[in-house]
Structure 1
Amino acid sequence: MTARRVSFRAPEEVRVEEVTVPKPDPDELLVETECSGISPGTELLLYRGEAPDDLPADETIPSLSGGLDYPISYGYAAVGRVIETGDAVEGDWLGERVFAFHPHASHFRAAPGELQRVPHGIPAAAATLLPNVEAAINVAMDAGPLVGERVAVLGQGVLGLLTTAVLADHPLEALYTVDRHSLRRERSRDLGADESIAPDADLRGALSDTHRKGADLAIELSGNPAALDGAIDATGYAGRVLVGSWYGDKPATLDLGGRFHRSRIAIESTQVSTIEPELRGRWDKDRRLALAWDRLADLDADAVLTHRLPVEEAADAYRLLADHPDEAIGAVLTYA
């Protein structure tokens, strides 16, 4: 049998390669993929050639243990069914629908511990959002907004929209979002934002009154280093700025003069590979993933996943996400 695998060969050069279907080792399973989700953050950095090639892809995921240099197979949101089990595998796995943090491929092998069983009732395409929902939960946990705070989320791509949906359940005084594209602002309101505005609007003014000038918390998720200045500018005295974007090798030049110098604004990073140290006594990755599955069960995935394309059109999918963010938010590759 022949399998298909997506490969980044060079900037803006994506190929679908034919390879032999792997044979599982005695302690492994063979999964036939139904669909895989494209991460429009990290994967577009790879597509554009903006990811640093001197970093490991992800040291916490066995299938992504290599570097970020070309050629590379990447991706971490594959959903499929187990079609073969190794002789030493225990448990009833055959025919199970599973999720794996694995690159885009029609078939792959994995140990049982590397797979998540997809809960009944969650469609395969929606299940590809698991890593993004987990990341959104991690952002909210790191942000730790207090009752009655005013929060701004800059960037309403996949992660931004999902973070908005999580934060909408918090008892905030105001939740404002920022994005340059009208479709994303519309979806942001649908997912719970009190208001979503364009980058040229007065965000700080919108979050100000006689009691407070500016946001208590601003979360930067746009992937655009220039937006970090906007997050700082919108934040009030002693507020916090949380940076969830990964800019790759794009430099961030900040204006830390003027009001920032006297405002005691804290700037901190958040990233899903680790859990905030103060929470590690109560939270681990398994508990966070279980919560992410619960959130997924209630999520309108179509608000985030705007496109589905066959894997043979993977190059078109990346081009669409890169060149037409006004109409494409999230994309799924299918393997039927």
Structure 2
Amino acid sequence: MKMQQQTIARLGEAVIVERELPQPGEHQIVVKTEYSAISIGTETMVLRGNANGTALGYNAVGIVVDKGAGVRHLDIGQRVACYGGGSHADYRLASKYLASPVPDHVDPEEAAFVGLGAIAIHAVRQAELQFGETMVVVGLGILGQITAQIADAAAYRVIGFDIEASRCDLFRSTVRRAIGCSQVEQVAAALGEGPGADAVLLCGGHKSDRLLDEAIKWVRDRGNIVIVGVPNTSFNRNALFYKEAQIRISRAGGPGRYDDNYEQAGFDYPIGYVRWTEGRNVEQFVHLLAEKRLSVKKLIRHRFDFANIDQAYRLCMDTPEQTMGVLIRYDP
């Protein structure tokens, strides 16, 4: 009987428990984890909500050690980046569609942020921009930083906003021709006298903020506002009416998320009908790393051994403004 050590939420604390590792299903793989990455906003929200028994994490990279009969594109011994729940574990199950091979020249530390990468890619797609258009990324935490780099790689003009000046400085160091703003007035100035931003992506937020109203001010007539983080969702109806802008939610990594037929039973969506599933977004994240059009290395500020993962969460809970990329290392 194979056992795994997995991190779960237990009434506000992150604890490591030992559990039996299930055998892989027909469309699953077993991965020996090398690195996992904390999604600070989502995972601290789970802890603050006093969840009990929830497996934490959804970003990881590791080596395939077993697989089901229906897995043909991945081999045992191959390094893969994996998206999906329960990633902070020494061994974990993953869906075949949510695991992408990692080329040898790609740094596995960067590949460990694959879940956040897929979420960022799907959010950029939800903005429905065309070549030459402008995006404002609000909230320059780890998700916003990755989102901004992906938008830049797609040749959009990117304006970043965060009240933490240090995050704006980091943004300017990783995004070409970046315009980083730490005050709302600076965003308006960056947009100038033109029509406004074609899209505003809200990658951060708090239940008491007014970011949605600011986004309505910044977006152009009939532009798109995409909610990626968890901002306050109340807004000035008349301001939205005047512009007839659209507000949309970006659901995790893309089509297929929360669909058991896709994630567990192995039924893919035909590419002619659904071009970009969450699995294809996972592949694109690794592809961007492989082509060096995306760099996560500068975003990694903290590294912890798996045995000390509780200290990593305490840092994220106590001083979120000082955290960015938080990486967990596992024994070889």
Q: TM-score range with shorter-chain normalisation?
A: 0.7 to 0.9
Residue ranges of structure 2 left out of the alignment (5+ in a row): 257-268
Change (3 A) 1:230 1:82: same
Residue ranges of structure 1 left out of the alignment (5+ in a row): 51-68
Q: Which residue of 2 aligns with 1:314?
A: 309
Q: Which residue of 2 aligns with 1:305?
A: 300
Identity %: 23
**Whole-Å Cα distance in 1 between the matches of residues 30 and 154 of structure 2?**
41
Change (3 A) 1:274 1:98: closer
80-89 or 266-275, which moves further after superposition? 80-89
**Whole-Å Cα distance in 1 between the matches of residues 283 and 180 of structure 2?**
30
- 1:249-268 Cα distance to aligned partner (Å, 9 max, x none): xx5332334x4442222212
Instruction: Determine whether 1:140 maps to 2:107.
Output: no
**Whole-Å Cα distance in 2 between the matches of residues 112 and 15 of structure 1?**
28
**Whole-Å Cα distance in 1 between the matches of residues 280 and 213 of structure 2?**
34
101-110 or 31-40, which moves further after superposition? 101-110
Cα deviation, residue 112, structure 1: 5.4
**Whole-Å Cα distance in 2 between the matches of residues 237 and 25 of structure 1?**
50
Q: Structure 1 runs of 4+ off > 6 angstroms?
A: 85-92, 276-279
Does the CA contact (< 8 Å) of 1:26 and 1:89 recur in 2? no
TM-align CA RMSD: 3.2
Cα deviation, residue 124, structure 1: 2.0
Cα deviation, residue 295, structure 1: 0.9
**Whole-Å Cα distance in 2 between the matches of residues 136 and 4 of structure 1?**
29
Change (3 A) 1:105 1:282: closer
Change (3 A) 1:20 1:234: closer
- 1:290-336 Cα distance to aligned partner (Å, 9 max, x none): 22211122132222222111122222212222332332112111112
**Whole-Å Cα distance in 2 between the matches of residues 242 and 34 of structure 1?**
33
Q: Which residue of 1 aligns with 2:284?
A: 291
**Whole-Å Cα distance in 2 between the matches of residues 94 and 147 of structure 1?**
40
Instruction: Determine whether 1:16 maps to 2:16.
Output: yes
Does the CA contact (< 8 Å) of 1:204 and 1:235 recur in 2? no
- 1:211-270 Cα distance to aligned partner (Å, 9 max, x none): x243232111113342222212222333321111245xxx5332334x444222221222
Cα deviation, residue 88, structure 1: 10
Change (3 A) 1:238 1:106: same
**Whole-Å Cα distance in 2 between the matches of residues 152 and 85 of structure 1?**
42
Q: Which residue of 2 aligns with 1:188?
A: 171
Q: Which residue of 2 aligns with 1:262?
A: 242
Q: Which amino acid aligns with 1:269?
A: I
Q: Which residue of 2 aligns with 1:54?
A: none
Q: Which residue of 2 aligns with 1:58?
A: none
Q: Which amino acid aligns with 1:253?
A: S
How many residue pairs were aligned?
309
Q: Which residue of 1 aligns with 2:259?
A: none
**Could you say what secondary structure the match of 1:254 adopts?**
coil
Cα deviation, residue 185, structure 1: 0.9
**Whole-Å Cα distance in 2 between the matches of residues 241 and 25 of structure 1?**
40
Instruction: Determine whether 1:175 maps to 2:168.
Output: no
Q: Which residue of 2 aligns with 1:274?
A: 254
